Amino acid sequence: MDTSTLTRISDYEWRIEAQGDMRVPGIIFASHDLVEAMDEKVREQVRNVAALPGIVLASYAMPDAHWGYGFPIGGVAAFDADQEGVVSAGGVGFDISCGVRTLLTGLQRADIEPFKTRLADALFHSIPVGLGSTGDIHLDDSGMTAMLSGGARWAVKRGWGYREDLERVEEQGCMAGAQPEQVSVQARKRQRNEMGTLGSGNHYLEVQEVSDIYDPDTATAFGLARGDIVISIHCGSRGLGHQIGTEFLKSMALSAHQYGIRLPDRELACAPLDSDTGRAYLGAMRAAINCALANRQIITHLTREVFARILPEAELALLYDVSHNTCKVEEHVIDGKPRWLYVHRKGATRAFGPGHPDLPADFADSGQPVLIGGSMGTASHILAGTREGEALSFSSACHGAGRAMSRHQAVKLWQGRQVTDTLLEQGILIRSPSARGVAEEAPGAYKDVNAVVDAADAVGLARKVARLKPVICIKG
**pTM listed for this prediction:** 0.97
- Which strands, in side-by-side order, build the sheet including 325-334? 7-10, 13-16, 26-29, 59-66, 73-79, 337-346, 325-334
- Give the per-residue pLDDT at 476: 80
Q: 45 in a domain, yes or no?
A: yes
The percent of residues in the chain predicted with pLDDT above 70, rounded, is 100
Total number of domains constituting the chain: 1
Q: 416 in a domain, yes or no?
A: no
Which tens digits make up the pLDDT trace of 383-437?
999 999 999 999 999 999 988 899 999 999 999 999 999 999 999 999 999 999 9
Which tens digits make up the pLDDT trace of 294-319?
999 999 999 999 999 999 999 999 99
Q: 288 in a domain, yes or no?
A: yes
Read off the pLDDT of each residue in 244-265 and give the average, rounded to a whole number: 94
List the CATH number of the domain containing 164.
3.90.1860.10
Q: 433 in a domain, yes or no?
A: no
pLDDT at residue 293 tops 90: yes
Instruction: Reply yes or no on whether 324 is catalytic.
Output: no
- Give the per-residue pLDDT at 130: 85
Q: 170 in a domain, yes or no?
A: yes
Q: 434 in a domain, yes or no?
A: no
Of 203, 324, 381, 399, the active-site residue reads: 399
| Stretch among 80-84, 132-136, 173-177, 433-437 having the lowest mean pLDDT | 132-136
On average, the pLDDT of the chain sits at 96
Q: 440 in a domain, yes or no?
A: no
Residue 289 belongs to domain spanning: 3-404+446-475
* Residues 210, 230 contacting (CB under 8 angstroms): yes
- Give the per-residue pLDDT at 475: 92
The percent of residues in the chain predicted with pLDDT above 90, rounded, is 95
Which tens digits make up the pLDDT trace of 62-114?
999 999 999 999 999 999 999 999 999 999 999 999 999 999 999 999 999 99
Q: 162 in a domain, yes or no?
A: yes
